[in-house]
Amino acid sequence: MPDTLPFATRFGSNAGQPVSRRDGVAKVTGTATFAADNHPEGMLHAVYVPATIARGRVTHLDVAAARAHPGVVEVITPANRPLLEGDPEAKHFMFAFRFEALQDDTVRYANQPIALVLAETLEAATEGARLLDPRYEAESPRVGLDGNTPYTVEVGAFGRRGQTVHGDVAAGHAAAVQSLDVTYETPAQYHNAMETHAVVAQWQGDQVTLDMPNQAIVMSRGAYGYYFGIPAENVLIRSPYLGGGFGSKAIPNGPTVLAILAARMTGRPVKLMLRRDQMFGPVGHRGATRQRLRIGIDAEGRMTVLDHESLATTSTFDDFVESAANASQGLYAAGALRSAHSGVRVDTGTPGPMRAPGEASGSAALECAMDEMAERAGLDPLEFRLRNYAETEPGTGLPYSSKALRECYLRGAERFGWAKRPLQPRQMRDEDGMLVGWGMGTALFHAPMFQAQARAVLRPDGTGLVETAAADMGQGAWTALAQIAADSLGLPLDKVEFRSGSSDLPDGGVAGGSGHTATAGGALHAAGRDAIDRLAQIATADPASPLFGAGNKGVTARDGRLFVTDDDSRSESYAEIIARAGGSEVIGTGSAARPPEQAAKHAMYSHGAVFAEVKVDPDLYQMRVTRLVGAFAAGRIINPKLAESQLMGGMIWGISFALHEEARFDARTGRIMNADFAGYHIPVNADVSGLEVITVHEDDPHVNALGIKGVGEIGIVGTVGAIGNAIWHATGHRIRRFPIRIEDLLRAERG
């Protein structure tokens, strides 16, 4: 079975089919067990007490009143908190963030944990937390992009360089016949998955079982082992279902560690589930940015320079700076490129990865700036992008592993009707007199691959079992990974059992960065191939088998049978081969990782183009996105139904970013004023209409053995800018701050 043959030719046709989610029925009928659905005998309920100031120290907690409340079992404060073996201020492993676990009475941001109350019921724990009645010695909070002195970022998020320069930037500015210098701002945004963070912790001696939503199941074992001074294998994390993650559920946080500590302290199981308002603080967010873009073009409309600077908020005690300016690397050809980042320390929880970190914020500014430059050049926005199309990765000159962006532009524009778009703004109205505008944006997101392991078993009855500690946070991993595994075993999907979501299984890697399907899928594919190879060795060495003498490489697997390649008359079922060999199951193992030398040879990205239509009331300036067409090229699509769902979800988040989502801070207290779903706006069904996704096929022999990229995040990228550009095209007003609000347009209209 040589690697040069297409995967589907080798193993069948489960992959590529629009299979419905295997976990869908369990979720819609309520039988899926999420973390907080676990209720072990003797369980205590935990409620953490959030700080109501953003900077200062706690001077008083009425512990006696809280402990006196009926049902309250324990109150944990800095005065009695047991020691942790690992330092919560240290960063000893990947994805380690400094966090608050009642080290002292210092308050570093609003909603920081300052105490934990344990009780027999949730109601008693909640009332005990209220009775603590904290008092503070408060200091003036530092809030927003102007709240502190900026500093230069040397190393940004995920180890990315703080500054990247290709070519002579000064010469590029000097050579420009037309230039643009604009600044865009994006707000702080907070994770608000349907399932808030939760944990049910149970200790047995020096072993702990954690039921929790987790995007990095095996990796997290080591983290919790570090904090509690036990071997990683003594930590069992069970995470079969996640109600959304978006980056925040791969990282240990203070409330979770405190709940685990409380379970050890009391000798009883402990459950903690964050309230919605408590999501605004200790579990990460997308930092606010202020981005300056300077673009120069020559007489032909080709860029001589693309100079992108970003200032982003981070916490006072850790470093995670949104790498927004990196959105300008890898996309458009320019004579010179520069991306530079700086940070400003403010009194908030530390930002962290949030769906399309860096690219979501950066592309919002970049794609709007590209339209502004196209307008100055007198060019259609699509034509301007095509004139600056990069055939190789800008700056590095590396060839793309695959790039079907031209086809994305073509198919998206054709489906949308872009050719009918007037160049000047405020030229279109609908039958009701609403202003109509059309905008577009280009999407780019890297195609990573991490490390993973898997196990595949062929059972005596001819069915299969595959295992890997993957994480399904809503993207459909249970289904897509099972499709890959079934093909690798040459079995129908309904003949394969898929086990996942537990840290005692082989490491499925991190569900994040749009790399999970490629990573865990690659390991499953390798494990399945190994099992088939082992079965083929048994059959071809057995004189009683029709496959005898064919040789391991001369055998093909499909539909639960092994066939001699190019001779379907010679075949035998898996069950027959195993029975004659003694009836023992056949076990294969596999791993996946991208060799560093392969990564150094090609630039690996998913690409796309998003076209947006908005309608704006000419009197009230209410805005509505009425159509979105996104065309995306993301390698080989394992499940078109799930991929379309993910891309749509990303585009809907783009609507949220462009028009709805923003954390508003009180400058006096540093508290977030809209820390709930009433004030923190996200789109609902009524905000979304006319959504269409086109997937453009790509064969990518370089990105990984399966040709898979990722679709989880690229849907956001490009969508925000497309909507911003459409609003300009409808109204003639360029708003350079997201989310775009009615008052922004009214203010612009009044001049």
Q: Which two tokens stand for residue 151?
A: 């500093």
Out of 233, 597, 713, 743, which one is annotated catalytic? 713
| Distance separating alpha carbons of residues 273 and 211, to the nearest angstrom | 11
C-alpha distances (whole Å) from 227 to each of 84, 101, 263, 486, 705 are 6, 11, 14, 39, 37
The amino acid occupying position 504 is D
Q: Say if residues 291 and 182 touch (Cβ distance below 8 Å).
A: no
Any bridge partners for residue 665, and if so which? 672
What is residue 587's three-state secondary structure?
strand
Q: How far apart are CA 9 and CA 15, in angstroms?
A: 11
Looking at residue 332, the DSSP 8-state letter turns out to be B
Strand 303-315 to 289-297 pairing: antiparallel
The rounded distance, in Å, linking the Cα atoms of 578 and 580 is: 6
Residues paired with 279 in a beta bridge: none
Rounded distance between C-alpha atoms, residue 118 and residue 74, angstroms: 5
Q: Can you read off the two tokens belonging to residue 293?
A: 């873009």
**Residue 184 contacts by C-beta under 8 Å, 6 or more apart in sequence?**
290, 291, 293, 364, 365, 368, 369, 736, 737, 738
State how far the Cα of 61 lies from the Cα of 54, in Å rounded to an integer.
17
Task: Tell me the β-bridge partners of 440.
Answer: 611
Q: Which two tokens stand for residue 466?
A: 């595959």
CB atoms within 10 A of CB 237: 24
The conformation of residue 389, written as its DSSP 8-state character, comes to B
Biggest CA pair distance of the chain? 89
Report the distance separating Cα 590 and Cα 575, nearest Å.
22
Radius of gyration of the CA atoms of the chain, in A: 27
**Which residue's structure tokens are 């697997």?**
557
- Cα 516–Cα 520–Cα 522 angle in degrees, nearest 5: 115
d(CA 267, CA 202): 8
CA–CA gap between residue 398 and residue 599 (Å, rounded): 10
CA nearest neighbour of 482 among 642, 691, 617 = 642
Sign of the CA dihedral running 87, 92, 96, 97? positive
Decide if 185 is catalytic. no
Return the residue matching tokens 């043959």.
5
The CA angle 109-324-288, to the nearest 5 degrees, is: 30
Per DSSP, 158 falls in state G
Q: Hey, what are 624's tokens?
A: 């509505």
Positions annotated as catalytic residues are: 713
